[in-house]
Each structure stands twice: as structure tokens, then as C-alpha cells.
Amino acid sequence: MDERTQTAQELRRLADQLDAGSDFGDEWLAAAQRAVHGCWRGRDFPAGCRALLDLLQRPAAGGAVEVQLAKPNDESTVVGVILCAGVPEAVVKYRGDSPAKAFREECHYVFAEQLGLGQVVAPCVAMELTLLGAHSFPPSGGSLDNCVLELLRKHTAAWHAAQENPSSDTWPTHVWVTIEKCVRLSTSSEPAKDAQRLTNVFGCIDLMQAYASTPDGRDCGEDALLRDWYREEPSDADFYQVLSRLDVECVHQLCILATITLQRDGGPSNLMLRQKENEEKSIELVSIDATRVLNAYPQESLVLREKAEKIGPFTYWYPACIELPQAVEPIAPAVADAVLALDAGEVQTRLARRLLAAGVGSSGAFVRAEAEAQAAGARLRQMQQILSTGRPAARELCFRVVPIWQADYWAPSRRIMVPFRQIEAHMRSGGTAESWERRCLQRCPGDARAHTQGEQSRIAREFL
């Protein structure tokens, strides 16, 4: 009997119990959760997710595929990078023994697709890896022993075994993961040199690490990880140039999505740089690691990370897309038109269905899914109402829908990890990348700078 048939029978049995007015106890709840889990396993995937599943089914024999462990930035945990013929194709985020984060992240990507904003979110799929015995989600065809998925399972099991004795009662028998498309700066064309100097050893870079790799970032105490120190060192001018070339529509799309989903983990370390296809001088941003999204929390209950004594469900990291200089520009016409064209009721219904499946195994999943979908729908409707009467700046639009972000934008306690405000002011005053670099040098002169003697001499010759 296949899984779909089993799920159908389970649902029919539950329906019969409902009709009979049975007393619903723990056994009924467990059965309902199994049924919903079956529906989740049979869910539809957007094209980006299907491509990841196809990758996991590829043969891994011959050494063409490998998994490397890495720590992308100071805030992240260890991740696995799947490389095919030396090219990073996917990143594995280890989410522990609960499906909540992995399911929520996949749901966020699917929801972005439904809103027409899938291009600003990295495709991902939620999956359970068993660390003992056969895998719980084998590919539909081919040999399990020779596929990328099995290589990943074995690698993960070996890693866990290295951390803890496998004979221990606490050693996990399974782990939930998010398989996420690796966002590289460029996949086809030659990237611009200033952007290329910012990338890490995998050809990827997030906004936080891009800044940390510059002299100004290091002077501010930021650590650049996964750097290839044999490559030419990026300058402060390089970072400024890249930031000034961010695609305006892309930034506005990120602001729209973050507002509708009430994103609480959209800091600069969760925004990856990607060169716009066929446009060397334009850079896009792609959101990753969106696990703190789509909740029905009252906005007033949110606590900025810097104000929180410990990380809890209401803790949030300030959304970096709102801080970017491009966010001060009037909302792009194409972005505004796309938002106005959405059917908020249909969006809300489809999101509720996806959230219900994502809530499998948790108490109150039915009520929570409906509440979260209603909250997202309300934010979308409010945004549409504002856009129907005018075209405010993207940042202003976000603040009008989520006022707590405006209050915390000016909060003295907020840690400004990247000097977006100063760069924005510099841009608006007509400043150049070179004058920004000079300003950075003047702010931290002499031995406090990471510039070499030759670099300081070059700046002096150009501007003094």
C-alpha cells in the first residue's frame, strides 16, 4: 500500500470518528498529526524546490560530489555545503530534532513564490535525515547507496558521532535539515572585480561578511570568515560601490516581503549578494534563513535583539533591507503594481493551508495557522490600501504597516552592524566611493587602520 493510499484511509477513519461524535483524546490527535504529515509529504513543490530534490537524487559515485562543513558568519551555526565538481550547489542547515524551523523556512519560500517574490528568496526544502538505518525520504528511482542524499546522510551521521558518543541515549537518531540553494555572486558571467574581491572561498557573500572583509569592518570589530586571504583584499571603496549598485526593485521587493511576513531574522548576515543576470553593474540581494516569519504576534510584543536578555520567540533582528539606502526611494512602480494586483483573500487561504501542513506535530496547529494567515493577509491589505492612494518610500511603507520597526530604527540601544545610515547620507550628498574610502581612513587613522602602507600612500596621493 503506497503512502497516499494510507493517508487517504487515515483521513477517512478520522472523518468517521467525527461523524460518530467520538471522544477525541491523545490517540486521535496523534492520528490527525500523522494524516497531516502525510499530506505534507505529498505537497507540491515550486520549480526551485524540485531542482533541489533532483540534485539530491543525482549519483554521488566517483568523488564528483562532496560535503564540506563551514561556519559562514559569527551568528550562524555550522552548515554543510554540497559541492558538485567543486561548485557549491546547496547549503544544508541543521535544525535539530524538531521540524518547526525547517518547515517554516520552506513555507516562507513557497509563500514568496505565491506573492510573485520568489526571486528574492533562496529556494529550500525541509527534510528529515535519519542517522541510523534506511533514510526516511529516499529518491523515487535509482540506487539509494549512490545518491547525493545518502552521502549527506552518512556525512551528517559521522559529524554527529564526532560530537557525541553514538551509544549515548541522547545521541539523535534523526535530524531535521533545510536544503537551501547556494546563492553565489555569479553563476554564469564574470562578476565585477570590486564585488568579486568581497566573496568567500565558495564564491558567496552576505552583506555582513562583505562589510567585515573590508578595513573599516575589521576596525569596527567584525570578523571576516571563510576568506581566501590569497585573493586581493577588498577596500572600503569596493563595499561602497557594491552597495550603491544594489537593484532598487529588488530592495523594495525584500521590504514588501519582510513586512507581509513580519520577518524577524532578516539581518545583514541573512542577505546574500548576487550579480543580476546579464547586468554586470547591478547587484541583487537574496534572503536566506527565514525561520522567524509568519507569526500572529502583536507587534508591540516584539523585542529587539539588543534589548533581549536571551533569545526567545519574540526576539527579532532588525530587517536590513529597510536600512539600505535604496529603501528611501519611492516604491518602484512595478513593485507597487504587483502588490496591488494580488488577491489578498486568495493569498490568505493558500497560506493557511501551507502553514497548517507546516505545523504538523505542534499543539494548536489549526488555530495557529489560521491566525498567522489572517495576520499576513491584514498586513497585505493595509499595504494595498496605502499604495492605492500614493507611492511612499519603501521604508515609510514598512514603518506604516509595522510601527515597531520605526521606533526601533532610531533606538539608541540598537547595534548598527553596518554603517548603512552614513553610506546613505554620503550617497545623497553626491559622495563617491573614493571619498567614502578617504572618510573611513580619516575615521581610523594610523596604526588603527588595516590598510597597508602602500594603500595609505595611494589614498594620500589621490585626495590630499
CB-CB contact of 381 with 137 (8 Å)? no
- Global pTM reads 0.85
Residue with cell 585626495: 463
Q: Which helix (H) or strand (E) holds 356?
A: helix 344-358
CB-CB contact of 128 with 136 (8 Å)? yes
Quote the CA–CA distance of 185 and 23 in Å, as a whole number.
57
Calculate the alpha carbon distances from 456 to 239, 432, 439 in Å.
17, 18, 12
Quote the CA–CA distance of 77 and 92 in Å, as a whole number.
11
pLDDT truncated to tens, each residue of the chain (464 aa)? Answer: 555 566 556 656 665 665 555 555 556 556 665 565 566 667 788 999 999 999 999 988 777 899 998 888 777 788 999 999 999 999 999 998 888 889 899 999 999 999 999 999 999 999 888 876 544 444 444 445 679 999 998 888 887 777 665 555 555 678 889 999 999 998 776 777 888 899 999 999 999 999 999 999 999 888 888 887 777 889 999 999 999 999 999 999 999 999 999 999 999 999 999 998 877 779 999 999 999 999 888 888 899 988 888 888 889 999 999 999 999 999 999 999 999 999 999 999 999 888 876 665 455 666 788 899 999 999 999 999 999 999 999 999 999 999 999 999 998 888 888 999 999 999 999 999 999 999 998 876 544 444 443 443 343 333 32
Q: Grid coordinates standing for 177? A: 535539515
Quote the CA–CA distance of 60 and 39 in Å, as a whole number.
30
CB-CB contact of 226 with 72 (8 Å)? yes
Residues 246-270 as b/e (b if ≥16 CB within 10 A, e otherwise) read bbbbbbbbbbbbbbbbbbbbbbbbb
DSSP 383: H
Residue 133 phi/psi, 5° resolution? 75, -160
Full strand arrangement of the beta sheet holding 65-70:
65-70, 79-84, 87-94, 174-181, 124-130
| One-letter identity of residue 155 | H
Quote the CA–CA distance of 211 and 303 in Å, as a whole number.
26
Longest dimension (CA), the chain: 87
Residue with cell 497531516: 36
Residue with cell 528529515: 128
| One-letter identity of residue 441 | L
Quote the CA–CA distance of 410 and 322 in Å, as a whole number.
12
Look at residue 372 in the predicted model and tell me its pLDDT.
92
Q: DSSP secondary structure string, 69-101?
A: EE--STT---EEEEEETTEEEEEEEE-TT-SHH
User: CB-based burial of residue 218 (10 Å sphere; 0-12 exposed, 13-18 middle, 19+ buried)?
Assistant: middle
Residue with cell 559622495: 431
- For 431, the 3-state DSSP assignment is coil
Quote the CA–CA distance of 296 and 262 in Å, as a whole number.
9
Quote the CA–CA distance of 114 and 351 in Å, as a whole number.
9
Q: DSSP secondary structure string, 31-67?
A: HHHHHHHHHHHT----HHHHHHHHHHTSB-GGGTEEE
Look at residue 289 in the predicted model and tell me its pLDDT.
94
Look at residue 168 in the predicted model and tell me its pLDDT.
54
Look at residue 92 in the predicted model and tell me its pLDDT.
95
| One-letter identity of residue 237 | A
- Cα radius of gyration rounded to whole Å, the chain: 24
| One-letter identity of residue 173 | T
Residue 444's nearest CA partner among 217, 207, 211 is 217
Q: How far is CA 459 from the centre of its chain?
A: 37
Quote the CA–CA distance of 38 and 107 in Å, as a whole number.
16
How many of the other CB atoms lie within 10 Å of CB of 47? 9
Residue 24 phi/psi, 5° resolution? -90, 110
Quote the CA–CA distance of 333 and 118 in Å, as a whole number.
18
CB-CB contact of 356 with 372 (8 Å)? no
Query: 303-304 and 315-316 as β-strands: parallel, antiparallel, unpaired?
Result: parallel
Q: Grid coordinates standing for 427? A: 550617497
**Residues ≥6 apart with Cβ < 8 Å to 359:** 36, 103, 365, 366, 368, 369
